[in-house]
């Protein structure tokens, strides 16, 4: 009976560091194998296998790893590919992780003749995501030739390889640098924790639940702030209403002050400067906002 879990994460690239940081933020300490391909959890039975991101859905599909962290774009591409080949998809999203945000967009040379999706009928589009692109074109009734390129997709139009591209965009600066304009967004993406649908032991399922609880705790702690302030007693309700994501604050008496109390609360949503200004206007003073390190339950 296997009592350990295996998780596949990207070995190097845009998701590598944050994937590992997330596992470490869950309190897991790792010992590295000599080749650094495997990392063994020392205080939690979770072992990390480091791969190219494109291979992560596959190892979950084959049941080699119970878990994986990969962009939704890669997971979707592999899912479409497996479906097209008539193979079963054996992985599913457990939790969106909020990093590696990007979108998969269609773009064409700026100021050119292609300004709508329909204008790409009969044209050639280069991409590293042929299955997502083909499905998108089909849904939108556009007949275009899809050319698969593994990298440097953005230079395809200037090389004369394609009329347009479908590629990942985050800030859009790469598109601007190559004088390309975005025509349409096919998919919004962020990194996700996926699980293999392969059979798991009871112990493994319990470990996944524990890990997920820690990940969710870490995520809500990151978004949360601990706010302390002084509030006039007759303004407590108005001040509480301004605090984002607070149900019941803690109130404490202030020595030698009959008019005011100390109010402490965990804000479960972002606290911004605008909130602080509103609090001050509502009569709050001595406002302190502190980060929350860990949170459970
Ligand atoms: P590998 O060597 O593992 O195959 P890669 O070159 O395919 O790496 P990266 O460029 O490291 O991949 O990107 C990994 C993931 O990061 C992407 O699949 C996507 O989910 C996410 N990402 C976020 N922003 C961007 C962006 N601007 N360009 C590309 N990927 C992005
Ligand atoms: Zn890749």
CATH number of the domain where residue 48 is located: 3.40.190.10
> pLDDT digit string (tens) for 113-157?
888 999 999 999 999 999 999 999 999 999 999 999 999 999 999
Ligand 1 pocket: which of 71, 98, 178 to mutate (most atoms within 8 A of CB): 71
**Residues 71 and 205 grouped into a single domain:** yes
**Residues 147 and 62 grouped into a single domain:** no
Mean residue pLDDT of the chain comes to 95
* pLDDT surpassing 70 at residue 186: yes
What is the average pLDDT across 197-206?
95
* pLDDT surpassing 80 at residue 234: yes
User: What's the CA gap between 244 and 55, in Å, rounded?
Assistant: 41
Domain residue limits at 235: 224-291
Answer whether residue 13 is part of any domain: yes
Q: What is the pLDDT of residue 106?
A: 98
* pLDDT surpassing 80 at residue 2: no
Q: What is the pLDDT of residue 34?
A: 83
Q: What is the band of 1 on the pLDDT scale with cuts at 50, 70, 90?
A: low
Q: 168 C-alpha to center of ligand 1: Å?
A: 8
Residue identified by tokens 């790469």 is 174
Q: Cβ < 6 Å from ligand 1: which residues?
A: 10, 13-15, 52-54, 71, 73-74, 100, 102, 168, 170, 189
Answer whether residue 158 is part of any domain: yes
Out of 189, 204, 235, a domain closes at 189
Q: What is the pLDDT of residue 97?
A: 97
Answer whether residue 73 is part of any domain: yes
Answer whether residue 284 is part of any domain: yes
Does the pTM surpass 0.85? The reply is yes
**Residues 10 and 96 grouped into a single domain:** yes
User: What's the CA gap between 247 and 111, in Å, rounded?
Assistant: 52
């Amino acid at each position: 009976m296997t009592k350990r879990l295996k998780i596949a994460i990207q070995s190097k690239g845009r998701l590598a560091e944050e994937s590992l940081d997330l596992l470490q933020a869950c309190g897991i300490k790792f010992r590295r194998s000599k080749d650094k391909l495997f990392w063994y959890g020392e205080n939690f039975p979770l072992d990390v296998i480091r791969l190219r991101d494109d291979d992560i859905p596959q190892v979950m599909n084959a049941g080699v790893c119970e878990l994986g962290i990969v962009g939704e774009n890669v997971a979707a591409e592999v899912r479409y590919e497996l479906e097209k080949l008539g193979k079963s998809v054996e992985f599913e999203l457990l939790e969106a992780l909020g990093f590696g945000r990007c979108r998969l967009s269609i773009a064409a040379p700026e100021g050119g003749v292609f300004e709508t999706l329909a204008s790409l009928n009969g044209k050639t589009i280069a991409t590293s995501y042929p299955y997502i692109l083909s499905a998108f074109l089909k849904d939108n009734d556009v007949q275009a030739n899809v050319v698969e390129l593994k990298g440097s997709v953005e230079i395809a139009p200037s090389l004369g390889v394609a009329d347009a591209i479908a590629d990942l965009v985050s800030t859009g600066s790469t598109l601007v640098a190559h004088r390309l304009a975005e025509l349409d967004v096919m998919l919004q993406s962020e990194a996700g924790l996926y699980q293999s649908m392969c059979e798991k032991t009871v112990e493994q399922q319990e470990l996944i639940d524990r890990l997920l609880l820690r990940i969710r705790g870490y995520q809500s702690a990151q978004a949360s702030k601990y706010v302390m302030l002084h509030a006039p007693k007759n303004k407590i309700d108005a001040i509480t209403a301004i605090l984002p994501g607070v149900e019941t604050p803690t109130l404490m008496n202030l020595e030698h002050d009959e008019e005011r109390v100390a109010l402490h609360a965990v804000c479960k949503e972002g606290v911004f400067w605008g909130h602080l200004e509103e609090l001050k206007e509502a009569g709050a003073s001595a406002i302190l906002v502190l980060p929350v390190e860990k949170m459970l339950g």
